[in-house]
Amino acid sequence: MTVATNPEDGRSVADSTRVRRCGFVAIAGRPNVGKSTLLNRLLGQKLAITSDKAQTTRHAVLGIRTGDRSQAIYVDTPGIHQRGRGALNRYLNRTARAAVADVDLVLFTVEALRFVAEDAKALRAVADAKVPAIAVVNKIDRVRDKRRLLPYIEDLSGRHAFRALVPVSATTGDQIDNLERLVMESLPTRAAIFPSDQITDRPERFFAAELLREQLTRRYGDELPYRTTVEIERFSDDGGRYRIDALVWVERPGQKRIIIGDRGESLKAAATRARLQMQEMFECPVHLDVWVKVKKSWSSDEAALASLGYKDV
């Protein structure tokens, strides 16, 4: 996985002359419409963490797709939402809105046959940004009678002047090729910004924290949906083997007991799964140690959020 190089220093002459179209593309919408799954499908590999819990995505994550003559720099964003008014909620909405306002194209993503108040709020953010947008109607694999899609798409087309509306399934890959073609055709004329082998601007340390948080979210999402975060204390290369020390922060002692489980078995299982995911992503052996600590009300404290990496860019 090629990450976090300087695009100006790392770009080859071949990259800058071969690519004719290049631009930033935000994947935006309310929580749980499949934005991160869509990013992974467009890239052809896993980069963003996923779960069925809202607000799994907490940071804007760049995923770079370089084709024969084009480079799309996708930006996975947190879901724009109206539930909760804490510091973390405000940070997530600010992050998503900032990403939408600073791109060349938006993929406004909705769930097929659903359009709720949070979809409308996300669409207002897209409209306010005055950026060209393609509507992506995701999860069509869950619609048995595809005839029901037509009136839904017609209604959606009347809500905004979309450049195109594309029904897709990020899970199965249905119509993703068509969506990718439309994206590439919509990019501005520009040389490549990143080297052709680079897929993100985030360092491996960031993804170590995300992969552990993914397992915690999937395992404990019902008990601790938004009260857990991960901080990497140590990330070192020990002769081709990564040694990683991670801290899991929760807000109350009772939450700590839930995560650790009886004799530490629950935490061990989550850490083992995360370690295997890290080894697959980093393509090397990983030694992972995990501790759980309490930081009272970290998700409601702006200073605590900043200290844990939730910083506005």
pLDDT tens, position by position, for the chain (313 residues)?
655 444 444 444 344 457 899 999 999 999 999 999 999 999 999 999 999 888 899 999 999 999 989 999 999 999 999 876 789 999 999 999 999 999 999 999 999 999 999 999 999 999 999 999 999 999 999 999 999 999 999 999 999 999 999 999 999 999 999 999 999 999 999 999 999 999 999 999 999 999 999 999 998 877 675 789 999 999 999 999 999 999 999 999 999 999 999 999 999 999 999 999 999 999 999 999 999 999 999 999 999 999 999 987 5
Strands (E), the chain: 21-28, 61-66, 70-76, 105-111, 133-138, 164-167, 229-237, 242-250, 286-294
The confidence score (pLDDT) of residue 6 equals: 43
Give the global pTM.
0.91
The confidence score (pLDDT) of residue 10 equals: 44
Residues of the chain with CATH 3.30.300.20: 204-307
The confidence score (pLDDT) of residue 55 equals: 81
CATH code of 204-307, in short, is 3.30.300.20
Residues of the chain with CATH 3.40.50.300: 7-186
The confidence score (pLDDT) of residue 223 equals: 67
What is the separation, in whole angstroms, between the first and last Cα of the chain?
A: 24
Residue environment code for 168-187, b if the CB has 16+ CB neighbours within 10 A, otherwise e: bbbeeeebbeebbebbbebb
The confidence score (pLDDT) of residue 13 equals: 39
Within 8 A by CB and 6+ apart from 42, the residues are 63, 65, 72, 74, 176, 179, 180, 183
What gap in Å lies between CA 73 and CA 64, rounded to an integer? 5
Helix (H, G, I), strand (E, B) or coil at 200: strand
The confidence score (pLDDT) of residue 220 equals: 85
Q: How many Cα atoms are found within 13 Å in the side-chain-facing hemisphere of 229?
A: 22
Q: Cα-flanking dihedrals φ and ψ of residue 99, to 5°?
A: -65, -45
The confidence score (pLDDT) of residue 172 equals: 98
What gap in Å lies between CA 107 and CA 94, rounded to an integer? 18
The confidence score (pLDDT) of residue 17 equals: 53
Residue 295 vs residues 229, 230, 303: alpha-carbon distances, Å: 10, 12, 12
Tell the CATH superfamily of the 7-186 domain.
Answer: P-loop containing nucleotide triphosphate hydrolases (3.40.50.300)
